[in-house]
Amino acid sequence: MSPRIDRIPAGIVNLADYERLASERVDSATWAWLDGAAGDELTRRANREAWDALWLHPRVLRPLAHGHTRVHLFGREWPQPVLVAPVAYQRAVHPDGEWATAWGAAAQGAGLVLSLQASAPLESVARAMQADAGRGPLWMQLYWHPDRGWMQELLARIEAAGYEALVLTVDAPVSGVRDRERRAGAGVPPEVRSVNLVDRPRAEARGAGPAASHVFDHLALAAPGWDDVAWLASRTRLPLLLKGVLHADDARQAQAVGAAGVVVSNHGGRTLDTAVPTAWALPRIVEAVGDAMPVLVDGGIRRGTDVLKALALGARAVLVGRPIVCALACAGALGVAHALRLLRDELEAAMALCGCATLEQIDRAVLWSEEPAHEEAASHGRADAPARTHRACAR
C-beta neighbour count of 86 within 10 angstroms: 26
Q: Interaction with its own copies in 77-136: which residues (CB under 8 A)?
A: 134
Q: Which of 4, 76, 148, 182 binds its own copies (CB under 8 A)?
A: 182
Q: Interaction with its own copies in 262-301: which residues (CB under 8 A)?
A: 266, 271-277, 280-281, 284, 288
Q: Report the sign of the C-alpha dihedral through residues 80, 140, 248, 43, in that order.
A: positive
Number of residues located near its own copies, criterion CB under 8 A = 100
Q: In angstroms, rounded to a whole number, what is the distance separating the alpha carbons of residues 354 and 73?
A: 23
Binding mask 339-358 for its own copies (x = CB under 8 A): ------xx-xxxxxxx--x-
In the annotation, is 57 catalytic? no
Q: Which of 4, 7, 148, 388 binds its own copies (CB under 8 A)?
A: 388
CA-based diameter of the chain, in Å? 77
Q: Interaction with its own copies in 361-380: which residues (CB under 8 A)?
A: 368, 372, 376, 379-380
CB of 262 to its own copies, least distance (A): 10
Q: Which of 36, 39, 187, 314 binds its own copies (CB under 8 A)?
A: 39
Beta carbon nearer to its own copies, 98 or 346: 346
Q: Which SS3 state, helix, strand or coil, does residue 143 take?
A: coil
Indicate whether 179 belongs to the interface with its own copies (CB under 8 A): yes
Q: In angstroms, rounded to a whole number, what is the distance separating the alpha carbons of residues 151 and 168?
A: 12
In our burial notation (b when 16+ CB lie closer than 10 A, e otherwise), range 141-159 reads bbbbbebeeebeebbeebe
C-beta separation of 276 from 255 below 8 A: no
Q: Interaction with its own copies in 6-25: which residues (CB under 8 A)?
A: 11, 13-14, 16
Separation of CA 339 from chain center: 15
Beta carbon nearer to its own copies, 202 or 382: 382
Beta carbon nearer to its own copies, 197 or 230: 230
Indicate whether 61 belongs to the interface with its own copies (CB under 8 A): yes
Q: In angstroms, rounded to a whole number, what is the distance separating the alpha carbons of residues 30 and 332?
A: 17
Indicate whether 54 belongs to the interface with its own copies (CB under 8 A): yes
C-beta neighbour count of 307 within 10 angstroms: 29
C-beta neighbour count of 336 within 10 angstroms: 36
Catalytic residue among 267, 338, 380, 390: 267
Amino acid in the structure at residue 75 = G
C-beta neighbour count of 132 within 10 angstroms: 16
Q: In angstroms, rounded to a whole number, what is the distance separating the alpha carbons of residues 276 and 22?
A: 27
Binding mask 183-222 for its own copies (x = CB under 8 A): x-----------------------x---x-xxxxx-xxx-
CB of 1 to its own copies, least distance (A): 25
Catalytic residues: 267
